[in-house]
Structures are given as C-alpha cells and as structure tokens.
C-alpha cells in the first residue's frame, strides 16, 4: 500500500498517505491480534491467496478487476490529491474519513466474528464444518462483508483527500454484485439451508436497495 500511495503521489511528503497507513496498521494489528486468540482458523483462511485451487473459475476471474479497483483506485486517489491536485478537501473531511474507515473495519470485523467461514474466496469449507450463518449482520443483509467494503473504499478516498476517488465505490458495488451471483450459486447448490436463509433475508448487498 505504501509503495502504491507514495509512488502515485510522487512524494513521501504526503501527510494524508501517512495518516491512512497509520489507521491501516493500527486496526490491522488490533483486530489481527484479537483474531489470533479467538478464531485462528479464520485468520489462516483470511491470509490465504486470493486465487486458490478449489475456487470456481468465475470467482478467479472476477477477483482480478476487484483487486484492480481497490489497489488501482488507491493509487488514483493519491495521485488526484497530491500529484494532480484535482481535489481540494478540507482537513475535517479527511478526519471524518478516518472515522468512517475505522467504523468500516469494525463492521467487517463484526462480520468475521459472526461468521468463522468468511474466507476471501468463494468455496465451501466442508473440512471446517461450514453452516449457514443467520445472526449478527447476516440477519440484515446476506453479504455484509461486501457492504462494509463499500464504506472502506469510501473512507479510503476521504482520508487520502480525493473527491474523485469516491467513484470507486459504485464501481466496486457493481463488481460485488457479479461476485455475489457466483457466490450464491455455490452456496445454494452446496450448503444445506442457504435457500431458506435467502428467502428470509431479502437484501443481498445494500439494505432496502438490493
């Protein structure tokens, strides 16, 4: 992340970049240290690569543009704010972005604490006894991890000082919508009880919208 941000910014004297990295490091250490103690199995899954052997081909393909939007978008945000200076953002908005970023991470971590099977790829984890999760954020929306990720990318844009970077959120939502179709096909065919759960919880990604 540091390489992408500061190479795109064209300077290491980019306060917003250091602020963003500080938030990322602090939250990663805090949540990672807690997960080591409470759910090491999920932590091992989360640290696996984004392309795996037992992953559907369609998911392997869709993960590429998702990563490009996240990482490439981060570079665009830094270039926008520090190199090209297209965006002029008040400091209080960037600090609000820090709050949004931390809140997004807290929501994502709540999702992972609720669902020990929240792997980074689409797959059925029969070796870990995967079951349908219906509590916590899953009682509101079927794919809360993606919902939280939309606020993460928006918070990233605000912290880095890029108004234009907010466009990454709807692009990411579209890609998540495609991946949700792939994921739900896998879950409906291989995970007992998922059809009943999907009938009870109507919203896939954003409550009251879709």
Position 53 scores a pLDDT of 84
DSSP state of 86: -
| Residue 138 maps to a domain | yes
As a 3-state breakdown, the chain gives helix, strand, coil percent values, each rounded to 5, of 70, 0, 30
pTM of the model: 0.93
Position 80 scores a pLDDT of 98
CB 97 within 8 A of CB 19: no
- Residue 79: alpha-carbon gap to chain centroid: 22
**pLDDT tens digits along 40-71:** 999 999 999 988 888 899 999 999 999 999 99
> What is the extent of the structural domain holding 124?
2-200
Walking along the chain (210 residues) 10 residues at a time, the average pLDDT comes out as 97 96 95 94 91 90 96 97 95 96 96 94 89 96 97 97 97 97 94 94 94
The CATH number of residue 20's host domain is 1.20.120.1630
CA gap 183, 203 in Å, rounded: 15
| Residue 210 maps to a domain | no
Domain tally for the chain?
1
Position 78 scores a pLDDT of 98
| Residue 45 maps to a domain | yes
| Residue 178 maps to a domain | yes
Region for 136 from its dihedrals, namely left if φ exceeds 0, alpha if ψ lies in -120 to 50, beta otherwise: left
Position 17 scores a pLDDT of 97
CB 89 within 8 A of CB 158: yes
Closest CA to 128 of 118, 142, 114, 138: 118
DSSP state of 54: T
Please spell the DSSP secondary structure of 96-134, one letter per residue: HHHHHHHHHHHHHHHHHHH-TT--SS----GGGT-----
| Residue 209 maps to a domain | no
Tokens, residue 66: 């998702």
């Amino acid at each position: 992340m540091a390489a992408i941000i500061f190479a795109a910014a064209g300077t290491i004297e980019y306060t917003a970049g250091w602020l963003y990295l500080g938030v990322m490091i602090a939250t990663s250490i805090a949540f990672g240290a807690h997960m080591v103690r409470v759910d090491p199995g999920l932590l091992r899954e989360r640290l696996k690569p984004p392309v795996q052997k037992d992953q559907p081909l369609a998911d392997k393909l869709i993960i590429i543009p998702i990563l490009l939007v996240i990482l490439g978008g981060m570079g665009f945000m830094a270039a926008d704010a520090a190199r090209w200076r297209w965006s002029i953002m008040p400091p209080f908005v960037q600090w609000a972005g820090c709050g949004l970023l931390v809140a997004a991470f807290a929501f994502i971590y709540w999702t992972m604490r609720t669902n020990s099977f929240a792997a980074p790829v689409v797959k059925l984890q029969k070796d870990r006894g995967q079951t349908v999760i219906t509590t916590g954020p899953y009682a509101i929306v079927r794919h809360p991890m993606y919902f939280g990720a939309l606020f993460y990318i928006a918070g990233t844009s605000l912290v880095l000082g890029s108004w234009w970077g907010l466009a990454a959120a709807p692009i990411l939502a579209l890609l998540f919508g495609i991946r949700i179709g792939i994921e739900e096909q896998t879950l409906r065919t291989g995970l007992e009880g998922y059809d009943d759960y999907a009938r009870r919880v109507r919203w896939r990604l954003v409550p009251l919208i879709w």
